[in-house]
Structure 1
């Protein structure tokens, strides 16, 4: 599983960071899924490996503009490029109204169907060949959710000794069983894939959280998670000075939570535009990392636009070299 940050700034972009968007794929950019779509996301895609033609679904955590304003432009550009495949948009109901209003009031149209799915529906669940996706309600000024991506169709391991003991010699049937398909032999025997294969590992699981001032909302979901991608808009000192109204988390809050639930990998994102990335900048983005490291001893990363990460089958997380 791989994911790439297309935007990691909160509220407004900076010279080096765009607003929120994340590309996620089961094995690189074909196919891939988009979580949030801040203004300028389609420009970010032009500097990445991801194509709107391979996009399978869009997931929107909440309605705020730094997570949604890029949608009309991205969708209409996909249409102009010739996309015809339908696209699922998993989002709050207001997003459907927003997209339709933008298209209808700009003399625009789409060459493909949009399937709107209410992310706020009770017992929401979505899945395709690659992922099963559920939601966790968060705490923000408007309804907001985290999306939990769980790997599906994990590779099977053949029980070769059992196959041979039952007189089933190596051949095409072994390959079909390993794909999870039942096989009918010429002698009339039906071989059940579940009887001759086993799944040798747990599914990989990544949580992509929207804006949230209460990380503890994710306690249950994090029990089986291998990566949490969560906002850290401020340091704790700035968070206390700003006050509770924005309803965002500090680096300290998230780090304390991650330690509490023994999370192996934590990726912080959605940083206030006040934090600088360049040498000598103040306040500097490294202050967020320093604060988090006081409380969290797992593997910590601070997102940067265009950084790509890979969650391996052994559940280790690596930041990849730039492509």
Structure 2
């Protein structure tokens, strides 16, 4: 899985950080997913190799504007870019109603279908070969959600010595067995299951929206190698702000991540008050005090790659 951060600021953009947006790619194909679409997200996309024609689903965590105000513009640009493939909008019902009103009132005609998937209908919101996305309920001032993204890849390795032993030469029959087909040979049928070993590799990331109670993700994090979650404040700042905004601190998040033993943690959605060298250092220090795994503070346009062994590396495309 590859995660490209398109926005890491909370509430409003700053000079170096846009508001929430996260692109998710897999090794399966060119398809990608967008988690949240704050204002200006399409500008960030233009700074990456991503194409709006390959976007298959947009997953909105909640209705607040820093997570969805970029939606109409991005969808309009996709249409002007000759997109024709249908697209899924996985979002709370109010987001869909707002988009429909915007489309009607601004004379927006899209050359492709946008299919709404209501988060309240069922936990499973997206499924395709090798990809499953489930939503999990969070605690915020409005209904908010996290997305658990699971990617499975299958690798098949032929038992070459066994095939040679029975006299089957390398060629199309070998390729057929490797792809799961049974093959006739010398009056018998060679079963793929007998001559090919299949290994299933799984990568799981939990991608959270705004949330004052990380423990709500306890079940979602079972088997996950990566948690991406907001850490809007340090604990001192959260204590001063009070419970009204209903956000998490780095300490709350780190303590939870340590409890569930998720091996990798990426913090994002930072308050502007922490967006300087001293503030970011304080967030990291607080995290490392309470969490012993691999912790990262996301920056706009950072790219994180997660493999099935649970290793995470950060680059910039």
User: What band does the TM-score fall into relative to the shorter chain?
Assistant: over 0.9
Matching of residue 318 in structure 1 with residue 317 in structure 2: no
Look up the SS of the partner of 1:155 in the other structure.
Answer: strand
Q: Which residue of 1 aligns with 2:290?
A: 295
Q: CA deviation at 1:108?
A: 1.5
Matching of residue 93 in structure 1 with residue 88 in structure 2: no
Cα distance in 2, alignment partners of residues 8 and 285 from structure 1? 12
Look up the SS of the partner of 1:238 in the other structure.
Answer: helix
Cα distance in 2, alignment partners of residues 206 and 46 from structure 1? 25
The count of corresponding residues between Structure 1 and Structure 2 is 317
CA contact (8 A) 2:305 2:313 kept: yes
Look up the SS of the partner of 1:255 in the other structure.
Answer: helix
Look up the SS of the partner of 2:88 in the other structure.
Answer: strand
C-alpha deviations, 1:19-51, integer Å up to 9, x for none?
A: 000011013992211111001101111111111
C-alpha deviations, 1:276-315, integer Å up to 9, x for none?
A: 23x5xxx622211111011111111000000001112432
Residues 105/233 of structure 1: CA separation in 2 closer, same or farther (3 Å cut) = same
Residues 240/103 of structure 1: CA separation in 2 closer, same or farther (3 Å cut) = same
Q: Which residue of 1 aligns with 2:149?
A: 149
Q: Which residue of 2 aligns with 1:108?
A: 108
C-alpha deviations, 1:212-262, integer Å up to 9, x for none?
A: 111111112212001100110100111111111211110000101111111
Cα distance in 1, alignment partners of residues 226 and 283 from structure 2? 19
Cα distance in 2, alignment partners of residues 289 and 29 from structure 1? 34
**Unpaired segments ≥5 residues, structure 1:** none
Write 1 or 2 for the structure with the bigger share of strand. Answer: 2
Q: CA deviation at 1:73?
A: 0.2
Cα distance in 2, alignment partners of residues 244 and 229 from structure 1? 22
Q: TM-score, normalised by structure 2?
A: 0.93
CA contact (8 A) 1:29 1:49 kept: no
Q: CA deviation at 1:153?
A: 3.7
Q: TM-score, normalised by structure 1?
A: 0.91
Q: CA deviation at 1:190?
A: 5.0
Q: 4+ residue runs of structure 1 moved beyond 6 angstroms?
A: none
Q: Which residue of 1 aligns with 2:8?
A: 8
CA contact (8 A) 1:289 1:302 kept: yes
**Unpaired segments ≥5 residues, structure 2:** none
Q: CA deviation at 1:117?
A: 1.0
CA contact (8 A) 1:129 1:153 kept: no
CA contact (8 A) 1:182 1:190 kept: no
Residues 161/66 of structure 1: CA separation in 2 closer, same or farther (3 Å cut) = same
Which range moves more in the overlay, 17-26 or 60-69? Answer: 60-69
Cα distance in 1, alignment partners of residues 214 and 190 from structure 2? 47
Which range moves more in the overlay, 74-83 or 309-318? Answer: 309-318
CA contact (8 A) 2:123 2:136 kept: no
Residues 199/7 of structure 1: CA separation in 2 closer, same or farther (3 Å cut) = same
Which range moves more in the overlay, 131-140 or 161-170? Answer: 161-170
CA contact (8 A) 1:6 1:20 kept: yes
Residues 173/28 of structure 1: CA separation in 2 closer, same or farther (3 Å cut) = closer
Q: CA deviation at 1:174?
A: 2.7
CA contact (8 A) 2:145 2:209 kept: yes
Q: CA deviation at 1:96?
A: 1.5
Matching of residue 233 in structure 1 with residue 228 in structure 2: no
Matching of residue 265 in structure 1 with residue 264 in structure 2: yes
CA contact (8 A) 1:231 1:270 kept: yes
Cα distance in 2, alignment partners of residues 28 and 155 from structure 1? 12
Residues 257/155 of structure 1: CA separation in 2 closer, same or farther (3 Å cut) = same
